[in-house]
Amino acid sequence: MRVLVAEDHERLARAVASGLRRHGMTVDVALDGDDALDRLATGRYEVVVLDRDLPGTHGDEICRSLTAERSESRVLMLTAARTVKDRVDGLGLGADDYLPKPFDFAELLARVQALGRRPGIPQRADLAYRDLSMNPERRVATRAGQRLVLSPKEFAVLECLLAADGKPISAEELLERVWDRETNPFTTTVKATVNRLRVKLGDPPLIETVREAGYRIGDP
């Protein structure tokens, strides 16, 4: 699941993002409303954790914009205001859920996960090639009936390669789809992750390196 955390308190934003990443999510952070709008215009997010009182473009305007565009992104609105009227107003703007500050991270995580399962967000189908199979929703991958122990990034890379149905995926595309925007574009982390994944998948090898095109699983 890809999540945008739009929150102007940088320490809180980074802490929330770090916690969500530990649960297998790909997370981008925007520290003001203008940056949040730019990211929403150029990327697809299943869930937006949106602080209502953002500097720049106000959180209310971002929520209205997503509603007007009939965006598939689900909005979890955060605010320091705790009254019933504030919650009703936030939901009236088009937010899907509302969480007052301060909050417990476990509750935020549960709400983000619940929004990601809401009808309207396309559910990812099971993927398979030969004796390798995975269920993206349950986050389970097996080969020859044996469950694979994969890190969140390894799982996400494997999902991208299987979903491509034999077409090569470049390292640049994998970096964009699996890692956050803050990741150094010249990093070797994609190559290192693919190498670890190859080891965990075992023999016979399934991941093929396609010269000047990237990596693939399956027949071209």
Residues 6+ away with beta carbon under 8 Å from 94: 63, 64, 66, 67, 75
Look at residue 16 in the predicted model and tell me its pLDDT. Answer: 96
Type of residue numbered 74: R
pLDDT-derived band at 67 (thresholds 50, 70, 90) equals confident
- Tens-digit pLDDT profile for residues 72-128: 899 999 987 666 666 666 677 888 998 988 999 999 999 999 998 876 555 567 899
In this structure, which CATH number among 1.10.1060.10, 2.60.40.1840, 3.10.290.10, 1.10.10.10 belongs to the domain 127-217? 1.10.10.10
Residue range(s) occupied by CATH 1.10.10.10 in the chain: 127-217
What is the rounded CA–CA span in Å between residue 191 and residue 214? 10
Residues 6+ away with beta carbon under 8 Å from 199: none
**Statement: residue 157 has pLDDT above 70:** yes
Q: Which strand (E) or helix (H) includes residue 162?
A: helix 152-163
DSSP 198: H
- Tens-digit pLDDT profile for residues 188-214: 899 999 999 999 999 999 999 999 899
Look at residue 54 in the predicted model and tell me its pLDDT. Answer: 94
Residues 6+ away with beta carbon under 8 Å from 165: 218
Name the superfamily (CATH) of residues 2-116: Response regulator (3.40.50.2300)
What is the rounded CA–CA span in Å between residue 216 and residue 34? 37
* Average pLDDT of the chain, as a whole number: 88
Residue range(s) occupied by CATH 3.40.50.2300 in the chain: 2-116
Look at residue 77 in the predicted model and tell me its pLDDT. Answer: 93
Render the burial of 122-136: b for 16+ CB within 10 Å, e for the rest: eeeeebebeebbbeb
